[in-house]
Structure 1
Amino acid sequence: MSRRSAGFVSTWAEMQRQYQRQVEAEERRRREEARQARNHQRRAAQEYREYRQAEARQRTAELDEQVATLQALLAAGCRAPAFRASSLRRVEEIPAFDPGPLAWPVRMPDPNQYQAQGGWTANRRAQAQAEARSRFEHDWHAAQAAEAQRLQQLAAAQRDYEQRSAAQRAEVRHHNAGIDEATAGVRRGDPEAVVEYFSAALYSSASWPEGFPRQVAAAFDSAARQLVLDWELPGYDVVPEAKSVRYVPAQDQDKESARPVTQRRALYREALAQSMLLVLHQLFAADEYGVLDSVALNGFVDAPDPATGRQAHIFLATLMAQRAVFRDLHLEQVDPTSCLTGALRGQLSTRPDQLTSVRPARQPQDVGNQVVTHGGGNDEPDLYEMDPIVFESLVADLFRAMGMQAVTTQRSNDGGVDVDALDPTPIRGGKIVVQVKRYRNTVPPTAVRDLYGTVQDAGANKGVLVTTSGFGPGAHTFARGKPLELIAGGELVDLLHRHGLRGRLGEGGRTAPSQPVTPEPAAPNGDYNVLGMTWSGNVALDVCALVCRGSRVLSEDHFVFFNNPQTPDGSVRAMPASAPDKAAVRVAFDALPEDADRFVLVAAVDPEANPNADLSGFTDACIRLLDPSMTELGRLEVSDGRAGETALVLGSFRHRASGDWDFVLGGKGYAGGLEQLVQDYGIEVE
């Protein structure tokens, strides 16, 4: 009895031990999974921190580079080649006529290849010979007709080539004649010709950093052989207020370290002195005809007068330099401020950051003859109001000023090409087709797709689309990786000014129209994109959008989600998704509020459909960029979800200075779901 009892107890005990081992194994498995999840979260957090730290270091490097460019302004400008009138002349380089396949005559059929086949009897042989002769005659007539057509097409191509070549030669000769006439006027000391010549010298210089103004008013005193000019200087904001940027993980934001005020003031004052000396250097270096004995130069900023509050020209520097004195200076070795105020006996504002002005010794209006002004908002032609043919000619002038051969096409049968250009640069050069769009609204992606088709049809190396407006994400996405270049309005104006040409966009000068078009809520012109979201896994998600300035949403009404399907102006709205998408948002980028610079897309677990789910099953996700016809323009990959997180920033479209919207990948996750996410963007959740 005792043995049986002991056996029963031992069996029961063994069962208990096995169960305990299973429980312990399950507990070890759970601990290991939790450890792996923590490691994954730590790695993801580390990757995110490293990305943000790298971004902060990049921004710091950009600030350092901006300051280094200011400090080296004069030295870099002195190393640049001097302006010469010959640089404005064009060369009659007409490419030889290339008939392409039309150069080869149509091959005539060989009668020896048309022998009778078969025929054992006389009748059959005669029939076979008749059939062979019939085939030969048919093919011969077809070849003759094809050859006649080739000769006709060749003659037409030759005539077209000769007409276009003659037009290009005439245009080049007319341009060069104008340069010769202007040069002769400079030699004679004609005041208007002298001012135009030296204004061109300043405008054509590539020594001025991007963003520096180029406004000048000038007159020439022929009796004193003195050029008198007012030149616009950069504002105080040319010196960056921030010195460095670092990422603060605890707050998950970038923190800027302010540049010391004394350092910023000193850098600005030095930049003004360098600008004044560089203008003098460029003027005297360009004087190949020896017409200048001296230059009276006044530097101003266009800003509100501290005394009256009205916009005015506030003079921050002035000097009068004699050629003989200036020629003996070693500008690359001088201290700019000491040189201006000491060697040249000029004046420089003691506090230019506070717009403390100086009194110019002599101004252009004191000379007595007509003052010529360039670069101001009203004297330059408004590209929006320009005749379309004149605008195309201006774009052709720009390409020629950039060292290319360019000619405008005829208005009819141009095949979608407004300007034909040829880049003579070896390897990367070749034929370029240019389309010109004088628009006020964003250029639709269809125009970019049409240009790509024209490039392929014309056998060109590159296509360029030039517009007075801008391009949306759809256009940039389609152009990516293709031989296409998109030039928006702001970039166009900068290129014109950089190469000595003139043009402005509306009353504001260089940027957008002075009175932007108020978008219709429904975007009736079809100028919008659909952002379709697709992902793997069965987790149910709410895809939402925030219209922000920086990291703050404009208002609660600009948070588009299931209880607020659109913004007040209708520029953003949720819409039903079409397969393969699981969610979709419609956005008209050019209709977003003016103070918005970010459009953020987020995804969050639906707590009602999946109360216990997280984003670990959110994988293989992407944003499909669609046009109004639901044609896919491209795909934007987004980060996968992570265990423990229930909301995720997919990415944001950021408004750049050029007017375009670029996509920036997100990746920040939230364990507290959509409520925690929107709190980060300034929305209070009750």
Structure 2
Amino acid sequence: MSRRSAGFVNTWAEAQRAHQRQIEAEQRRRREEARLARDYQRRAAQGHREYRQAEARRRTEELDAQVATLQGLLTEGCQAPAFRATSLMRVEDIPPFDPGQLAWPVRMPDQSQYRAQGGWTASRRAQAEAEARARFEHDWHQAQAAEAQRQQQLAAFRRDYEQRAEAQRAEVRRHNAGITEVTAGVRRGDPELVVEYFSAALYASTAWPGGFPRQLMAAFDPAARQLVLNWELPGYDVVPEAKAVRYVPAQDQDKETARPVTQRRALYREALAQSMLLVLHQLFAADEHRILDSVALNGFVDAPDPATGRQSHIFLATAMAQRAAFADFHLEQVDATSCLTAALRGQLTTRPDQLTSVRPSRQPVEVGNQVVTHGGGGEEPDLYDMDPIAFESLVADLFRAMGMQAVTTQRSNDGGVDVDALDPTPIRGGKIAVQVKRYRNTVPPTAVRDLYGTVQDVGANKGVLVTTSGFGPGSHTFARGKPLELISGSELVDLLHRHGLRGRLGEGGRPTPTHPEPSAPATPADDYNILGMMWSGNVALDVCALVCRGDQVLSEDHFVFFNNPQTPDGSVCAATASAPDKAAIRVSFDALPQGADRFVLVAAVDPEINPDADLSGFTDACIRLLDPSMNDLDRLEVSDGRAGETALVLGSFRRRSSGDWDFVLGGKGYTGGLEELVQEYGIEVE
């Protein structure tokens, strides 16, 4: 079964929810018919005034019921059964064969019922008996033919039934096999199937009131075991603007009492907090295989941006929940707003009615795996295929949407500037020189150096380089400390979406990998090691890794550091350190590119945190070799740092002819920091 076939899980879950909505619609129709019947009887039995007063009371009760539904959203939602993949399994419930009238054989004629009629004479009696036999034989042959035809029809009907029954059984088995495959993929931690599974859990939920949106964007980070999810929240109109309705006899009309703005805002804010907590509850409750260690959840509304007027995703809430901490909450008893903002340390906008946004902690586009979107509409333009002039205009639109003045330059004599922008913000604002690179491969450091020269030539306060691809370590190292900002493809898509503009990168919404390597043998999801780095002293270090052939890195994308958290094939990636480690790298040795024979670990002083420090405080260091269960397999000693040095090769793992990897102690230090170290491994910086 192909990976794309897993999408039917969401389709079936949505169909299940659609069926539930049909049932609810039918119930509402019946209630409405009953209400109309009661109204008719009431009008017939009561006077006009009494009827209008009763209608006003009924409308007030409906408003109160809407508010009660919002206030009880979390409590009621927590009582709903947890989603299980088994709930999507179908039963081979084939109705028994029912041939109907064909089950009954044709009744054969009874010869005793065929008697001679008349016959006073011998000749007439013989003739009558002959006629009776002839009628009997005729009817008998007719019945025999009808019975033969019935049996043929019955056999054909049975064959048709068996074919349809077998087709239904095959469909049920195919469906159930697909569910089983998805479940197995979830156990393996397959990012796409994990997202499909938890999307189905949210779509199949009956805890949400009718009319609540169900748009999401999600990605799964297998290294952190974290689901990153953008979930659409209900709009401000979910809280009724009216508080009560009363009938005014003198004017013969209903008058609505407005709900106070502060009360409406408080109710809406509470509903947003309850929605966020309910999503987290449903995700963790559905995680029967305990795949998730945490969930990064961002809640947004799809509304016109107050600043630009463009339709945009405006984030009103964000939270990152750890399973262990969330499991201790008694959600039926918490104050939702306090739980979200205090217990989870999340953010919730203080003025949701004015669409005041918060900044999400992590978004799906920041995860290295494919981002899956459900519930949204319209096809977004592929930035790779966009006309270059149209792409520059889109970037100018983005800067204008961010509150700046921006125009595209003429194609000739532009001085290396594609978009002229002006940030009107006092002190930190000023003229911005923008260059646009619609690349598929990594932007070379020469382009960053050229931009820096352009900034100096045109007297700009800042230079911004926007690309559809990414930047290597040489570019980031050069840009550090200079008035330059580098915006990669994934960051560009994120900015476009935040400000109501549209764009994607290829089919999956992510940049295509650069410098493809020969494919390595398939490696199980749990076949990896964690390299935990521990040391004494308070010096802040960046621990990095290089995938090399000899003493040269395979490509800039094979240098894993703070601005490049993983290699293109995912065989090496940064990991969250667990005490006593201060840094960690995850590596699948068997999945490293075939052309690689060395895996080098290095450390450098972080110049932003400790600008004046060196490695003299780097002592008692070692690398802990851990299995996926974080069991300590070995400890590899590392040389101490020396005064004056700011970067150090900790050691390298080297591939032997047998295919095994041995660790070789490093110790070479550098006074020029990480920049000098990576240049020695073939990474261009200057």
TM-score by structure 1 length? Answer: 0.48
TM-score by structure 2 length? Answer: 0.48
